Amino acid sequence: AYDRAREAADSFLKALDVRASQSDDTAIRVRLADAYAASGQWEPALQEYQRVAVANPDDLGLQMSLANAYHQAGRQPQALQEYQRIAQIAPDYPFAYIKQGELLDETGLTTQALAAYEAAVQAAPDSVDAVLTLATAYRRRGMVDEAIVMLERGLQLDPTREGAREALERLNGGEQ
C-alpha cells in the first residue's frame, strides 16, 4: 500500500511539474513547491519557492515557506538570513522572530535565540504565540520567575490555553 501511495504522489508531482513548467501562474508553482515540501523533497521545493518568492516579495506566507524550506533542507545560514529579512520588512510579524529563535536554539546559540524570542514579544506584545514561546524558552533555561510572568500574560491573552495553565501550575508548584 505504501508503494502505491508513493507512486501516486510521484505521479501527482510529475503532472504538477509539467503544468508549472508551462505556466507562470504563481498558485500552480506554490502548489508544486508545497507538494515537494510535503513529500520531503526540499531541493525542488526550494527551487519553486525561490522562483515565486522573487516575484512576490510582499507575500509573508510565501517568504516564510521559502525560509522554512531552507531550514528543512539543512541550509541554516540561508534560513536565518531569510527569517531576518522577513523581520526587517515586517517588523511587527512575530513568527519571523520565533522561527529565528527556534533555528538559533537548534544550532546551540541559546543567548541569541532568547533575544529573538524576546524580539517576537516586543514586535507583537498581544500575540499569545509569541508570549508563550518566550515563556517556554525561559522555562527551558531555568528562568522560572520570567516564565511564570509570561505564562500569566499568555493566559490573560487567551485563557483557553490548557498547556500554558498546566505549565504555570507546575512552575508554581516548584517543578521545572
pLDDT in the model for residue 24: 63
Instruction: Decide if pLDDT at 131 tops 90.
Output: yes
pLDDT in the model for residue 23: 55
C-alpha closest to that of 113 among 123, 100, 124? 100
Predicted confidence band of residue 6 (pLDDT cuts 50, 70, 90): low
pLDDT in tens, 34-50: 999 999 999 999 999 99
d(CA 62, CA 174) in angstroms, rounded, equals 42
d(CA 150, CA 167) in angstroms, rounded, equals 11
pLDDT in the model for residue 5: 46
d(CA 29, CA 33) in angstroms, rounded, equals 6
pLDDT in tens, 71-109: 999 999 999 999 999 999 999 999 999 999 999 999 999
d(CA 52, CA 66) in angstroms, rounded, equals 9
- Once rounded to an integer, what is the mean pLDDT over residues 18-45? 81
Please, are residues 57 and 80 in contact by the beta-carbon 8 Å criterion? Answer: no
C-alpha closest to that of 69 among 110, 39, 105? 39
The count of other CB atoms within 10 Å of the CB of residue 139 is: 21
The pTM assigned to this predicted structure is: 0.83
